[in-house]
Amino acid sequence: MKNFWLGLVKFILSYRVSILVAFALVTAVMISFAKLDFAMDYGKIVPPSDEDYKTYVKFKQEFGEDGNVIIIGVDGDLHQLAFFQGLYDLTEECKKIEGVEGVLSLTHLINVIKVDSSEKFAVERIVKRKPETQQEADSLARALLGLPFYKGLVLSEDAKTSVIAVSMTPSALDSKQRLVIFDEVQKLGAAFEAKYNTKLAYAGLPVLRATLFNILLKEVVLFLFLAILITALILWIIFRSWVSVLYPLIIVGVIIAWALGIQGMLGYKMTMVTGIIPALITVVGIPNCVYFITKYHHEYAICRNKLEALTQMVVRIGIATVMVNATTVIGLGATGITDIAILKEFGIVAGLTVTAAFFISIFLITIFFSYLPEPTEKELKHLDNKRTNWILTKTDHLVQNNRRGIYVIVFLIFVTSIWGITKIEVVSKMADDIPKGSRMIQDMQYMEDRFKGVMPFEILIDTKKKKGVQKLRLIENVAALQDSMKKYPEISKTLSIADFAKFARQAFNGGASEEYELPSKTEFNFIGIYVSNAKINAGTFSKSLTDSLNQKTRISGNIRDVGSAKMKEIITGLQKDIDSVFSGSGYKIDITGTTRIYIKGNEYLVINLVQSLLTTLFLIGFLMWLLFRTFRGVMLSIIPNILPLLMVAGFMGLVGISLKPSTALIFSTVFGISIDNTIHFLTAYRTHRRNGLDVSEAVTATYDNTGLSMIYTSSILFFGFIIFVASSFGGTQAMGYLIGGTLLIAMFSNLFFLPAIVLTFGKGKI
């Protein structure tokens, strides 16, 4: 193995210019592939093989996107002429925005009029033009208030709040144009607010997506800046040399370019999870530089020859650094084997980038420092850090003489952590990570208070027969199910073909609001003739409620952002209602929609968490066996790093931090990173034992040899991850202080607990 590393150093130094040119060209290619394009597809958190996900995809193919509507809440009195005119103008202006498919508001609703002479219904707009007199406004207000079909959909139950629903085209929803549309809508809304001294509320999935995008875009830049700033500051504190700050940052810049390039080449868009990769790679990539530079300085202090020191740097810690990077790849890349797309993409991109980071670091550090002057005494001064060396000496003394006390503390931590783990909840909301005081959250709560919910919620009914939805019995069952759904305060008023049938009956019987009821069998037959002759359907009024064959229909509504636990409870109860109402019908009935699919993703979190963590443990355990070739060595590597995982899990349970996609990344990530110090410690310990030192002497020598690097890298990792606490997203904040805190705990575990068990069990071969 030594000959391999000697050959690698010789190759690097012999072809320095060619290697630099090659890295420059590859980096340029990676930059060309890099794109800051963000995806907000909530279906990506559920495996494509899931039956509910398949139903959701088919639903969208047949009925269109369910999350393409910007909902604008407007408070105002319909009897006020000026307000009515403003609402009319705002609706007209929204219709002109490119990428808007349609706009629904009180001023653009339609009514059904019975035409006896031709035995058909006529469809006409209620508000044919903008009213110009108070009398017109009063007349239109009375007409609108007399149509129960729209109550709870476009007008709140107390008639004080109305809705403007702006629907985007599918192409606009899946592109950056959705942001342009929302921005244009907000500009029009701001002008309306200023003119009429009121405040509009914005809700709906496009609003949530736009809000997430805007925050995410700012935070990608913010975290990258903070990560570079923090790591540069720590590098300066450690080395007190601009050379040892500048060149690692150049290397990190190359790694970031490769990360973005890899993501672009794979066709992945940034998500809330992958958006942290640039900053994450900055934090994770710097320790490689610290290990190499510290070792280079250490070897130069001994031999006083630059090229010899660079050679020994690679030879002596090459294999350890390979293992360190391999464990980090496993820790970050373990989620790449999961079925949840956003975690899989994170794992693949992060894993490939860390792999590339190792080669970038070892090649460029060697080349850069081969061109630079020999280290000065000032640059080597950090090797004799009296304060740090004093801490390490005291730590060694404590471990050598108080192992029992360390074990007692570890046991107490273990018991407390297990208790906390039993309290962890798997709960997530669609707007969970949006800042609680943000306008979006306030607007959503405002709309939920008036319309109950704003997140899409659908029930799909497949009669399995062509024209099956035209049967009165089916319509009666749909109406019965809608009535049973009223007992759930979290679900808004729903819309279905039963509502259309009631609307048609109201028109058939003269238009009085009290006639808004389900038709009798006789009425149904006559109404069917009028509807057929007019060639109208429920989609004329709001949205498509049946497929082209009239075989399938939907009950469409909205639901509060109640979270995964409450959603599961609602779905369980609703499924019982469905089974009761449609008992014996033979229909296939599914609860679906974007909200349902997003919330269901949480059901996979625990499974995928356990799967990725077990995979991480197995693969890292296998690597440790390859490194040490003893079961003892594997156990000494694994055990000290299990403790921090238990602590973070216990802490989450005790303080009420729930598991969700962002916090689920913590465990395998932390384990893959925290074991790095363990590898360096045990590798150095084994070398000292082979050189003839006894167990106690070898532990002391290992503190002297690797303790400094362990503290340096742990400090960088801690402060590097703590920057995520500055995030506006709750999940990212939690990830920041949980990973940062856990890595700090892991440092103490490797400085105290690991040496203690080595002293207890390390007498045999490692």
Rounded Cα distance, 496 and 557, in Å: 9
Question: Where do the DSSP E strands lie in 66-109?
Answer: 69-75, 100-104
Q: Are 84 and 137 in contact (CB under 8 A)?
A: yes
Helices 730-748 and 631-655, packing angle to 10 deg = 140
Q: CB atoms < 10 A from the CB of 525, how many?
A: 11
- Please state the separation of Cα 520 from the chain's center in Å: 50
Task: Give the DSSP per-residue string, 693-709.
Answer: --HHHHHHHHHHHHHHH
The structural architecture, per CATH, of the domain 2-42+209-422+598-761 is: Up-down Bundle (1.20)
Q: Are 688 and 755 in contact (CB under 8 A)?
A: no
Rounded Cα distance, 417 and 540, in Å: 58
Q: Are 642 and 323 in contact (CB under 8 A)?
A: no
Rounded Cα distance, 427 and 89, in Å: 42
Rounded Cα distance, 491 and 734, in Å: 30
**How many residues are given for the chain?**
766
pLDDT at residue 675, rounded to an integer: 85
pLDDT at residue 36, rounded to an integer: 67
Q: How far apart are the first and last CA of the chain?
A: 18
Task: Give the DSSP per-residue string, 315-370.
Answer: HHHHHHHHHHHHHHHHHHHGGGGSS-HHHHHHHHHHHHHHHHHHHHHHHHHHHHHH
pLDDT at residue 539, rounded to an integer: 53
Q: What is the dihedral of CA 260, 263, 268, 270, to 10 degrees?
A: -30
Give residue 148's identity as a one-letter amino acid code. P
Rounded Cα distance, 746 and 766, in Å: 21
Rounded Cα distance, 178 and 582, in Å: 39
pLDDT at residue 538, rounded to an integer: 53
Scan for tokens 């802490």, then name that residue.
651
Q: What strands, in cross-sheet order, belong to the sheet with 552-559?
A: 552-559, 455-462, 588-592
Rounded Cα distance, 761 and 682, in Å: 13
pLDDT at residue 201, rounded to an integer: 93
Question: Whose CA is closest to 325, among 291, 370, 373?
Answer: 291
Question: Whose CA is closest to 503, among 151, 122, 149, 127?
Answer: 149
- The widest CA-to-CA distance across the chain, in whole angstroms, is 110
Tokens of 450: 């008036």
pLDDT at residue 581, rounded to an integer: 94
Tokens of 613: 């963590």
Question: Whose CA is closest to 429, among 563, 569, 602?
Answer: 563
pLDDT at residue 744, rounded to an integer: 85
pLDDT at residue 120, rounded to an integer: 86
Q: CB atoms < 10 A from the CB of 96, how many?
A: 10
pLDDT at residue 40, rounded to an integer: 56
Would you list the domain boundaries of the chain? 2-42+209-422+598-761, 51-206+437-590
Q: What is the DSSP letter of 517?
A: S
Residues in the chain with pLDDT values less than 50: none
Tokens of 760: 């207890």
pLDDT at residue 541, rounded to an integer: 53
Scan for tokens 């390859």, then name that residue.
626
Question: Whose CA is closest to 605, among 565, 559, 645, 561?
Answer: 565
Q: Which class for 473: exposed (0-12), middle (13-18), buried (19 or more C-beta within 10 A)?
A: exposed
If phi > 0 it is left, if psi is from -120 to 50 it is alpha, else beta; for residue 603 that is: alpha
Instruction: Point out which residues pair with 114 in neighbouring strands.
Output: 121
pLDDT at residue 526, rounded to an integer: 87
Question: Whose CA is closest to 82, among 206, 221, 197?
Answer: 197
Question: Whose CA is closest to 286, among 343, 324, 323?
Answer: 324
Q: CB atoms < 10 A from the CB of 75, how many?
A: 16
Q: Are 374 and 300 in contact (CB under 8 A)?
A: yes
Rounded Cα distance, 26 and 33, in Å: 11
- The contacts of residue 146 (CB under 8 Å, 6+ apart) are 511, 512, 513
Rounded Cα distance, 331 and 83, in Å: 59
Rounded Cα distance, 677 and 749, in Å: 10
Rounded Cα distance, 187 and 72, in Å: 13
Q: Which class for 696: exposed (0-12), middle (13-18), buried (19 or more C-beta within 10 A)?
A: middle
pLDDT at residue 461, rounded to an integer: 94
**Percentage of the residues of the chain whose pLDDT score is greater than 90:** 28
Q: Are 258 and 350 in contact (CB under 8 A)?
A: no
Q: Which long-range contacts (CB under 8 A, 24 or more apart) does 414-421 make?
A: 414/643, 414/646, 416/650, 417/646, 417/647, 417/649, 417/650, 417/651, 418/646, 418/650, 419/650, 419/653, 419/654, 420/649, 420/650, 420/651, 420/652, 420/653, 420/654, 421/646, 421/649, 421/650, 421/653
